[in-house]
Amino acid sequence: MLANSLVELDRQHLVHPVSSFRGHEERGVRVLRSAKGATVTDSEGRELLDGFAGLWCVNAGYGHESVVEAAARQMRDLPYATGYFDLGAEAPIRLAAALAERSPGDLNHIYFSLGGSDAVDSTIRFVRYYWHSKGQPGRDQFISVEQGYHGSTTMGAGLTALPGFHDGFGVPYAWQHKISSHYLYRNPLGDDPQAVIDASVAELRAKVAEIGEEKVAAFYVEPVQGSGGVLVPPKGWIKAMRDVCAELDILFIADEVITGFGRTGPIFACEDEGIVPDLMTCAKGLTSGYIPMGAVFMRDHVYETIAEGAGAKAVGHGFTYSAHPVSAAVALEVLALYEGGLFENGVKAGVRLMAGLESLRDHPLVGDVRGRGMLAAVELVTDKVKKTPLPASMQPATRLFDRAWEQGLIVRSFAQGIFAYAPPLCCTDAEIDAIVERTRKVLDLTLEDSEIR
């Protein structure tokens, strides 16, 4: 009864992110009520294994009392402090110091945002200011990678390279350029890693030459492309792109909104390739989704250039909720949980997850299995040789999601017929095995669909 009235109120008043308004009205909302560990319970009391950690964010898992206590304590003591007027609070200062200590190289200066999109947006503002400060305001062109996702603010959506975020919105801007993704499974060059790396290097150089070397401000990458379908670059790809940027004096920006905080194994995925970006963004796992927060990390030279450029003037960028003390208190407690064993468990669980998903390769619908750590995907095809995607008439995004739900599994399914996995790092062996078994059940049921038989 309660659930029914909520569905109706939702239909009438709540606008859902990245959803078909009409499709959502028709399907209605599924209300989640509570959660513990890797299991969420809906309003009907049905338990589901969350194979996607909410929206690749609840890395620590649900229901940690110590996080609740940290937030309550901070709310009681000081629920808000601005960073304007030289003011501040203890938790964000301690958090910035802790993150600087753990981040690669000299990414020592941290600006806190409310999430990933405004972290990315902030980097665009800081990059522009950086080049102005260097006396090169003409460096105002930005390059990112096809299939990339960099958020949903107007500027970030233009760096994003997924048509659904552009169509009807008037982006990308003319100053936002793209190069091809590595997407090994569907790369026209084949899946030879070195050939793909060489081609990407050549394409980046050609794009810079086309725009004009003295005009390019920055290049953005995700260490693993998430929303584009969990596309894992070949080993050495990120490093090669970083080296080109260093050589051409272009700022290299790693968007670690998904990959940060143990998702691929190390605290930041840049460590997988031993690179230090000029700027880095994170969000999601920073607070494990318990409360909104994101961050921009700057290397010393970026911070110093901006500081020198501004002199006594204020750098005119900031939000009311930058460095929110409650979010910072939560992030500090989440970090303690990660380092108290969750990172370690995530590495172990990631090996099991990848092995389990690999075992699905024998299924007639499985074209590709890829991933790194606790970030993985299974790409479905109707013909393994031709790599034919599932027919759009099947509406894979909703049908596969619903089918997994019926099996007690929450897993993201992209419209192309790609399952994406990002389970909480706290998963037990049994939970990882259940994710794989339930996926196989979904694949078996899908094989019986009339559209693909």
- The distance of closest approach from Cβ of residue 118 to ligand PMP in the complex, given in angstroms and rounded to an integer, is 7
Six token digits for residue 267 = 């605290």
Site for ligand PMP (CB under 6 A): which residue of 52, 142, 149, 185?
A: 149
Q: How far is CA 132 from CA 127, 175, 308, 313, in A?
A: 9, 16, 11, 14
Region 11-70 residues binding ligand PMP, contact defined as CB under 6 A: none
Shortest distance, position 379 Cβ to ligand PMP, whole Å: 18
- As beta bridge partners, residue 112 has 295
Judged by beta carbon, residue 126 or residue 382, the one nearer ligand PMP is 126
Judged by beta carbon, residue 92 or residue 115, the one nearer ligand PMP is 115
CB of 18 to ligand PMP, least distance (A): 9
Contacting residue, 117, 287, 345, 413, with ligand PMP by CB under 6 A: 117
Q: How far apart are CA 396 and CA 89, in angstroms?
A: 47
**279-282 vs 47-50, strand pairing mode:** unpaired
Kindly tell me which residue out of 222, 273, 333, 368 binds ligand PMP, with binding defined by CB under 6 A: 222
At a CB cut-off of 8 Å and minimum separation 6, what does 239 contact?
A: 273, 274, 275
Quick check: 288 binds ligand PMP (CB under 6 A)? no
Residue 283 makes contact with ligand PMP by CB under 6 A: yes
Indicate the residue among 156 and 356 with the shorter CB distance to ligand PMP.
156
- Is residue 185 within 8 A of residue 387, CB to CB? The reply is yes
CB of 231 to ligand PMP, least distance (A): 12
Of the candidate residues 61, 151, 233, 396, the single one contacting ligand PMP (CB under 6 A): 151
389 touches ligand PMP by CB under 6 A: no
The residue with its CB nearest to ligand PMP is 116
48 versus 258: smaller Cβ distance to ligand PMP: 258
| Three-class secondary structure of residue 107 per DSSP | coil
Q: How far is the CB of 76 from ligand PMP (least distance, A)?
A: 27
Which DSSP string do the residues of 207-229 spell out, in sequence order?
HHHHH-GGGEEEEEE-SSB-TTT
Min separation Cβ 287 and ligand PMP, Å: 11
With beta carbons less than 8 A apart as the criterion, state whether 116 and 284 touch: yes
User: In the beta sheet, which residues pair with residue 409?
Assistant: 49
Residue 285 binds ligand PMP (CB under 6 A): no
Question: Which 96-115 residues touch ligand PMP, going by CB under 6 A?
Answer: 115
Interface stretch with ligand PMP, choices 68-76, 143-151, 264-272, 360-368 (CB under 6 A): 143-151
Considering the complex, state which of residue 150 and residue 438 has its C-beta at the smaller distance from ligand PMP.
Answer: 150
Q: Do 200 and 237 form a contact (C-beta atoms < 8 A)?
A: yes
Nearer to ligand PMP, 356 or 424 (CB): 424
Q: Which of 67, 99, 120, 436 binds ligand PMP (CB under 6 A)?
A: 120
| Sign of the four-CA dihedral 338, 339, 345, 346 | positive
b or e along 21-53 (b: 16 or more beta carbons within 10 Å of the residue's beta carbon)?
Answer: eeeeeeeebbeeeebebbbbeebeeeebbbbbb
Residue 376, both tokens:
């993985």
Binder of ligand PMP out of 35, 124, 258, 377 (CB under 6 A): 258
Enumerate residues 6+ apart whose C-beta is below 8 A from 222: 145, 148, 149, 150, 254, 255, 256, 257, 258, 259
Q: Where does this chain bind ligand PMP (CB under 6 A)?
A: 115-117, 120, 149-151, 222, 226-227, 255, 257-258, 283
